């Protein structure tokens, strides 16, 4: 996270806001609710309290405007810049402007969700700069995330609490524990257990929680992105992923559902059920999957057993499940992620990666062998 240099912060914890006008994209009640919830995101973790006023000058003046709106920072029409806000201060300080050439929405993933945009802008209005953490709300680019289950990421909590301190009035209800703030996974964590790994059009993709790293083989740098910024329809916390190069599809699996994507777009007919891929109905969850280029088979791992699926005939092979150790001698633990690269098979078990080639175990490696720290 980053805070505004120069210690720009509100001198009081009691702040006022006013909604000066409304966007025609949503009902007034939807705008009111989105703004209220966006402020609550910050009030929940700090001593800041927000009161709405209906006339006069509020600390945070909220307006929907287009193009040149008199503050020296004109908007640019649809897409591009969605909104901006001014750091704490008198006059225009703290004010938030939304580009009304955008299509704002209340809950769906189409258009730009006003709650998410507003919560980000209010972060600026309270004294936060953009964060370089791709999982943070204060990351500068917009990506949709599930609004109903939204919890302020830990990076943003750390940032705002560095300015205003924590909320000391949080009622402790043992019946309803507070959801934990999501922490962006760190590739340098030696205990990192990846959710899934796959190749995708020549790149390696490493999934963890709601994010993934993409890395070009033999590169020392990787990019981290929210899963939903690439595939808005995809779930977080996936169980397994694999690429079918012949169909140019990448499959993401969570629970008993399978999603297939062609580039950024979901393939027709997906999500499907695991059983529609031919897996027996008793299989409720798989732990890893990989596409074997040599045989044209996809292997589905269920802990220490695996099934084989023929991509050509689109049928499961007979004689499975087998014990993983039977096909991969030396692999005794649960397989948590898997992929194949340059003819070698890599099976992950927790933070360790087992390299197989020529029918035997070659090396035991750490995550950062492929995922740069």
Partner 1 sequence: GPVPPSIGKEEEDLAKNYLKKLYNMKEEHTRSARSTDHSVSEMSEKLREMQEFFGLKVTGTLDSETLEVMKKPRCGVPDVAA
Which stretches of the chain bind partner 1, using CB under 8 A?
Answer: 4-5, 73, 75, 79-85, 102, 112, 117, 120-121, 124, 129-130, 132, 134, 140-142, 219, 221-224, 229
The CA distance from 215 to 58, in Å, is: 47
Nearer to partner 1, 2 or 364 (CB): 2
How near is the Cβ of 187 to partner 1 at its closest, in Å?
11
Pairing of strands 104-105, 96-99: unpaired
Nearer residue to partner 1 within complex by CB, 81 or 270: 81
Q: d(Cα 139, Cα 223) in Å, to the nearest integer? A: 14
Helix axes 28-43, 114-126, angle to 10 degrees: 40
Q: Which of 87, 73, 70 is nearest to 130 (CA)?
A: 87
121 in active site = yes
Per the document, the length of the chain is 373
Cα dihedral value 361, 365, 371, 373, nearest 10: 180
Supply the minimum distance, in Å, between the C-beta of residue 221 and partner 1: 6
Question: How far is Cα 60 from Cα 91, in angstroms, rounded to an integer?
Answer: 10
Q: Which is nearer to partner 1, 73 or 344 (CB)?
A: 73
Distance of closest approach, residue 85 Cβ to partner 1, in angstroms: 7
Question: Which of 346, 286, 354 lies closest to 321 in space, CA to CA?
Answer: 286
- Which residue of the set 30, 36, 102, 121 is catalytic? 121
Least Å distance, CB 225 to partner 1, is 9
Nearer to partner 1, 130 or 334 (CB): 130
| Least distance in angstroms from the C-beta of 242 to partner 1 | 22
Closest to 236 (Cα-Cα) out of 214, 205, 212, 204: 212
DSSP 240-289: EEEEETTTTEEEEEETTEEEEEETTEEPTT-SEEGGGGT--TT----SEE
Helix or strand holding residue 60 (H, E): strand 60-65
Contact between residue 120 and residue 1 where contact means Cβ atoms under 8 Å apart: no
Closer residue to partner 1, CB minimum distance, 65 or 302: 65
Radius of gyration of the chain (CA): 24
Least distance (Å) between residue 359 CB and partner 1: 31
**Alpha carbon distance, N-terminus to C-terminus of the chain:** 19
Q: How far apart are CB 183 and partner 1 at their closest, in Å?
A: 17
d(CA 289, CA 161): 41
CB 194 within 8 Å of CB 287: no
206/328 with CB nearer partner 1:
206
Cβ distance to partner 1 smaller for residue 102 or 243 = 102
Tell the burial category of 183 from Cβ atoms under 10 Å away from its Cβ (0-12, 13-18, 19+).
Answer: middle
Catalytically active residues, by annotation: 121
């Amino acid at each position: 996270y980053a805070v505004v240099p120069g210690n720009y912060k509100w001198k009081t914890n009691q702040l006022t806001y006013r909604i000066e006008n409304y966007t025609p994209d949503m009902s007034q009640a939807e705008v009111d609710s989105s703004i209220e919830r966006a402020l609550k995101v910050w009030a929940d973790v700090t001593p800041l309290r927000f009161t709405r006023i209906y006339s006069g000058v509020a600390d945070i003046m909220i307006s929907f405007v287009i193009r040149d709106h008199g503050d020296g920072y004109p908007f640019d029409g649809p897409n591009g810049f969605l909104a901006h806000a001014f750091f704490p201060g008198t006059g225009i300080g703290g004010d938030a402007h939304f580009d009304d050439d955008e299509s704002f929405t209340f809950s769906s993933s189409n258009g730009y969700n006003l709650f998410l945009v507003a919560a980000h802008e209010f972060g600026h209005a309270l004294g936060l700069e953009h964060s370089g953490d791709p999982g943070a709300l204060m990351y500068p680019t917009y990506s949709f995330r599930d609004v109903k289950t939204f919890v302020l990421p830990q990076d943003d909590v750390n940032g705002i609490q560095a300015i205003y301190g924590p909320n000391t009035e949080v009622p402790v209800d043992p019946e309803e524990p507070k959801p934990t703030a999501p922490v962006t996974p760190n590739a340098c964590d030696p205990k990192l257990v990846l959710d899934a790994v796959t190749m995708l059009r020549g790149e390696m993709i490493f999934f963890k929680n709601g994010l993934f790293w993409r890395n070009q083989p033999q590169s020392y740098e990787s990019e981290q992105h929210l899963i939903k910024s690439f595939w808005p329809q995809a779930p977080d916390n996936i169980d397994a992923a694999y690429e079918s190069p012949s169909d140019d599809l990448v499959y993401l699996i969570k629970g008993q559902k399978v999603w297939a994507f062609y580039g950024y777009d979901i393939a027709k007919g997906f999500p499907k059920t695991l059983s529609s891929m031919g897996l027996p109905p008793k299989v409720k969850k798989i732990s890893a999957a990989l596409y074997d280029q040599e045989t044209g088979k996809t292997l589905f791992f269920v802990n220490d057993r695996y099934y084989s699926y023929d991509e050509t005939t689109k049928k499961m092979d007979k004689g499975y499940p087998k014990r993983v150790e039977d096909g991969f001698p030396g692999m005794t633990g649960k397989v948590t992620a898997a992929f194949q690269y340059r003819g070698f098979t890599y099976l992950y078990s927790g933070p360790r990666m087992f390299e197989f080639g020529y029918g035997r175990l070659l090396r035991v490696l750490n995550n950062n062998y492929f995922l740069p720290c």
